[in-house]
Structure 1
Amino acid sequence: MLALGKIKAITLDLDDTLWPIWPTIERAEKVLLEWLSAHAPMTSALFANPAALRDIRAEMTSSRPDLKHDMSALRLESIRLALTRAGDDPQLAEPAFEAFFAERQRVTLFDDVLPALEFLAERFPLVALSNGNADVQRVGLGRFFRASVCARDFGVGKPDPRIFHAAAGAVDTMPEFILHVGDDVTLDALGALNAGMQAAWVNRSDAIWPHEQEPHVTLTHLGELKDLFAGE
């Protein structure tokens, strides 16, 4: 059971908790391909081949394990590798990535998100806690968050307890007084539990909880969290 009275701060996952991620990525990859088509047509042809793209990503992941927590750097270096292999100028990687990255920040929030954030931010310090590369300022949600902690900057990602503890430290609060809210059963909910936090699992798809240790509360949307605090 959720101990509402203990909560002094809330950490929130971003991708698939506040917005659906794959429509966003698909749009951003389309923009990237259009940019490459205009500026690096040989690379555009290479990226248009799914098998070649998978090979490039797989090679980059295996050859640069140091980038496994930095989605931006991994994407940038994959583009650079594709440019090099296609015979285009590898210096085009930075502007190509920026075309992708700018579109990646254009997210479509779930309908329940804005009312919930407005309600929660008036009552608690909120911290964005993500393994991805969304920027809460660029997506237009910066006003709600006291801090943002991401795997790219911190060096390790969820479910490592250290990144949860870093998020707690960002608002000078002990983990036991924090509620973490996220959609991933292992990275978010189980990670938060193992870090000593309360955990709210956002289950928008009626999935089955797979672990023996259960979250403190399961939500089908963030409006339910708002209702819980409003009824306290």
Structure 2
Amino acid sequence: MSFRVRAITLDLDDTLWPFAPIGARVERTLDDWLRRHCPRTADRFPIPAMRALREQVFAEHPDLAHDFSQLRRLSLVRAMQASGDDIAHADAAFEVFHAERNRVEFYPDTEAALVRLAARRPLAALSNGNADLATIGIDRLFAFQLGAREHGAAKPHPGIFHAACERLGCAPGDVLHVGDHPEMDVAGAHRAGMRSAWLNRTDAAWDRTDLRPDLEFSSLAALADWLDAHSATETEAA
């Protein structure tokens, strides 16, 4: 399929790196820190109980569904209050979480593919999560990062896609959104009037009948290959 692409927006978790190892490591690291600094909290809320408390806090605050960082802070404060520990520790605990959350292991193709894509088109990160590209060390490859927390609404709401397009100075139909999630990324981009590329690293079957992604790739490198060929075709046509 051929169409104009003036800019690219990219999801982060499970698109540039797998999130599951990060989530598991964050839980262990935070639990270790709590056992040293807030032992009553660690005893009352071991990892499964802390996870359940976090889910409860998330459910109680649908108005903060776009702000994972604030929800995480609230969960820590709630746990410390319930355990009798000083809630002043919550800020330090959150910093431990934040540092570990941003220690990512890229998919093998990610870094080289990002360099290739950034050389062709402006890139913007568009994520519901709380990864920080500057902390991770790849912000130089992106025009900007737009998170659900900063925008005030999460994918798949069309507003966050439109805000990214506006900052890129492009009409939605000229921007390609790339992500792993059929609803948050593909359907969200589709409803916002953008082109979509489904990054299907697990060889999953597309099981929706109401829409399809414009493009599908098994790796970010394959997307970079497509964009190289697409750019060459555009140059020849010009």
Work out whether 1:23 is the aligned partner of 2:25: no
Pick the aligned partner of 2:129 from 115, 132, 140.
Answer: 132
Assess if the C-alpha contact under 8 Å between 2:198 and 2:217 holds in 1: yes
Work out whether 1:56 is the aligned partner of 2:53: yes
Residues 177, 90 of structure 1: alpha-carbon distance in 2 compared, 3 angstrom cutoff:
same
Question: Tell me, which stretches of 5 or more residues in structure 1 are unaligned?
Answer: none
Read off the aligned partner of 2:21 and give its amino acid letter. Answer: P
Question: Tell me, which stretches of 5 or more residues in structure 2 are unaligned?
Answer: 231-238
Pick the aligned partner of 1:209 from 206, 219, 228.
Answer: 206
What are the within-5 Å matches in structure 2 for residues 1-150 of structure 1?
1-3=1-3, 6-48=4-46, 50=48, 52-150=49-147
Read off the aligned partner of 1:88 and give its amino acid letter. Answer: D
Residues 144, 49 of structure 1: alpha-carbon distance in 2 compared, 3 angstrom cutoff:
closer
Q: Structure 2: how far apart are the matches of 1:121 and 1:102?
A: 26
Tell me how far 1:55 sits from its aligned partner.
3.9
- Computed over aligned residues only, the root mean square deviation of the Cα atoms, in angstroms, reads 1.1
Q: Structure 2: how far apart are the matches of 1:27 and 1:54?
A: 13
SS in 2 for 1:208: coil
Read off the aligned partner of 2:50 and give its amino acid letter. Answer: L
Assess if the C-alpha contact under 8 Å between 1:105 and 1:138 holds in 2: yes
Assess if the C-alpha contact under 8 Å between 1:2 and 1:217 holds in 2: no
Assess if the C-alpha contact under 8 Å between 1:2 and 1:198 holds in 2: no
Q: Deviations over 1:36-94 (max 9, x none)?
A: 011000111122152x3244223312322221111111111101100000110011111
Who is 1:226 aligned against? 224
Work out whether 1:173 is the aligned partner of 2:165: no
Identity %: 45
Work out whether 1:182 is the aligned partner of 2:179: yes
Tell me how far 1:170 sits from its aligned partner.
1.4
Residues 142, 54 of structure 1: alpha-carbon distance in 2 compared, 3 angstrom cutoff:
closer
Assess if the C-alpha contact under 8 Å between 2:28 and 2:47 holds in 1: no
Q: Deviations over 1:129-177 (max 9, x none)?
A: 0000001111111010001111011111111111000111111111110
Tell me how far 1:2 sits from its aligned partner.
4.3
TM-score (norm 2): 0.93
Q: Deviations over 1:181-231 (max 9, x none)?
A: 000010001111111111000001111112221101111001111111222
Work out whether 1:151 is the aligned partner of 2:156: no
TM-score (norm 1): 0.95
Q: Structure 1: how far apart are the matches of 2:156 and 2:59?
A: 21
| Number of corresponding residues | 229
Read off the aligned partner of 2:88 and give its amino acid letter. Answer: Q
Read off the aligned partner of 1:193 and give its amino acid letter. Answer: H
